């Protein structure tokens, strides 16, 4: 069964949000590349619970999102569609980490699915591969 392994908290001001969570809960942050995406260390690795990120609020990311680890993202995307959900952000690579997509469930909640795959290409390579097929 897929477990929640990641969360995303949207913010209008990522600096203000990271300061809040750092000062209130002691969370640690590391910016992901040059993106406004701040990986969150919310406890020691040997403690139960998920890590996450603070990210810029967007149309897709209006509210906090839970991300589920799945064994096969393509199969999960198919099941989401056949069971009444909707893909709201197509499958995309996260270089050297895996594949990711956003969906809404039958109640309108935005969630994410993630499949680990250390061979996932960067976005430009994925676009080129898709175009050449």
| Residue 92 Cα distances to 25, 26, 43, angstroms | 31, 31, 28
Model pLDDT for residues 109-126, shown as the tens digit of each residue: 999 999 999 999 986 544
User: What is the CB-side half-sphere exposure of residue 77 using CA atoms within 13 A?
Assistant: 15
Cβ pair 10, 62 in contact under 8 A: yes
Q: Are residues 10 and 34 in the same domain?
A: yes
Residue 57 shares a structural domain with residue 96: no
Strand partners, 37: 55
Q: What is the CATH number of the domain that holds 5?
A: 3.10.180.10
Q: Which helix (H) or strand (E) holds 80?
A: helix 73-82
Last residue of a domain, one of 45, 62, 79: 62
Give the pTM: 0.81
Number of H helices, E strands in the chain: 3, 8
Residue range of the domain that includes 58: 1-62
* Structure tokens that stand for 49 in this block: 């619970």
pLDDT band at residue 128 using 50, 70 and 90 as cut-offs: very low
Instruction: Please state, in angstroms and rounded to a whole number, the distance separating the CA atoms of residues 132 and 111.
Output: 30
Q: How many domains does the chain have?
A: 2
pLDDT in tens, 19-63: 999 999 999 999 998 989 999 998 888 888 889 999 999 988 899
């Amino acid at each position: 069964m897929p477990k929640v392994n990641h969360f995303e908290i949207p913010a209008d001001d990522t600096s203000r949000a990271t300061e809040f969570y750092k000062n209130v809960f002691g969370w640690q942050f590391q910016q992901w590349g040059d993106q406004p995406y701040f990986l969150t260390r919310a406890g020691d690795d040997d403690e139960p619970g998920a890590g996450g990120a603070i990210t810029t609020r967007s149309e897709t990311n209006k509210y906090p999102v839970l991300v589920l680890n799945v064994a096969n993202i393509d199969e999960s995307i198919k099941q989401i569609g056949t069971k009444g959900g909707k893909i709201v952000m197509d499958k995309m690579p996260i270089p050297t980490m895996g594949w990711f997509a956003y969906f809404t469930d039958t109640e309108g909640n935005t969630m994410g699915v993630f499949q680990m795959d250390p061979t996932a290409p960067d976005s430009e390579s994925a676009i080129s591969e898709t175009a050449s097929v």
